[in-house]
Amino acid sequence: MKNYQLSDRDAVETVDLRPGSRPDTAERELWPTLWKGWRRKCPNCGNGPMLSGYLKVRDACPVCRQELHHHRADDGPAYLTILIVGHLLAPLLLVVFTTWRPEPLVLFTIFGVGTIALSLYLLPRLKGMIVAFQWARRMHGFGKPAEPEAPRP
């Protein structure tokens, strides 16, 4: 039996339609999902915005209604941002200092601004990737089947 893809433009999710299979346990592709998270888009549809501000994750995607409130990003994006910025700028600082010997105030100004700018750029993107990773691996409630809506009176 073949797997059929249920999507229009982006590969949203591959679902096994064999009798007895559970569509809520179908494997979600990691790398396309991480790329959607980097772009700060919904990990399910890739179209709706994931964030409603600089770092506030929406409760649900406005396009596909995928619930996003399950995420547990916590301090992960900040730790990854510090790790990446430190590993990029520390060797660069060493090379610049040993090659040109700029004045300490100039060095501090350039690398201080660079550190802040790179951190502000990476932080929401890494948060999107962490939420997308949790969605792809069905962590923290992302793997539960959707609850049916209550009938309206």
| Contact present, 73 and 130 (Cβ < 8 Å) | yes
This prediction has a pTM of: 0.78
| Contact present, 7 and 107 (Cβ < 8 Å) | no
One-letter amino acid for residue 66 of the chain: Q
Q: 4-47, pLDDT tens digit by residue?
A: 554 455 445 555 555 555 555 678 999 999 999 999 999 999 99
Distances (CA, A) of 78 to 36, 53, 121: 19, 16, 12
Q: 49-58, pLDDT tens digit by residue?
A: 999 999 999 9
Distances (CA, A) of 129 to 137, 144, 145: 12, 20, 22
